[in-house]
Amino acid sequence: MPDPAPSDAELIEAWRRGDEAAAAELVRRHARAVARYLSASGAGDEVEDLVQETFYRAFRKIDGFRGGARFRTWVMAIGSNALKDLRRRYRRRPVVALEDREIPDSTDPYAEAVTHELAQRLQAEIAELPRMQRDVFLLRAQQGLEYEEIATTLGTTVGAARVHYHHAVQRLKRVAES
């Protein structure tokens, strides 16, 4: 029977002892989720650089990780901060909308057109949400994080995260119903 995969905590300890493969495994496990979050948060063409910056910062500060939150939550918070830093540096650059996603083929051209139009309207509306609502919505809906993890990631309270998510969902429902 093969050995079970090491936990994130075990990989972190191995990295602290100098095991480069442990760091590579942590990146392999979490980089896609960080990239999806950053992309949906409006990072645009900067996603790849931001993911690298996120893990660079994470491994530089790994001694500050105490395990009070999941590693992914901690890395998402670092990614969120890297994105905020980028936005501060480039205030003049507009926030880029969510990337286009392929809509599955349909046998009904009318239904396909309606679905495509709704998807575009929702993507545009997500991009227009206030930053905190957008971030909370994406972390909850796209990444599946719990409110406690969202609060930790974004440096807010659980109650505030719930309120931001509720307002984002209400706004998106209005778009979907119109």
User: pLDDT by residue (tens digit) across 12-35?
Assistant: 998 888 888 998 999 999 999 999
For 134-153, the pLDDT digits (tens) are 998 988 888 888 888 888 88
30 compared with 99, residue with greater pLDDT: 30
Q: Who has greater pLDDT, 69 or 8?
A: 8
User: On the CB side of 17, how many CA atoms lie within 13 Å of its CA?
Assistant: 9
Q: Does the model's pTM come out above 0.85?
A: no
All domains of the chain, ordered by start, with CATH? Answer: 1-96 (1.10.1740.10), 106-178 (1.10.10.10)
Residue that is written with structure tokens 């890297």 in the block: 82
SS3 state of residue 135: helix
Look up residue 119 and give its amino acid. A
Cβ atoms of residues 143 and 37 within 8 Å: yes
Please report, for residues 45, 49, 81, 110, the alpha-carbon distance to residue 70 in angstroms, rounded to integers and kept in the order given: 28, 23, 17, 44
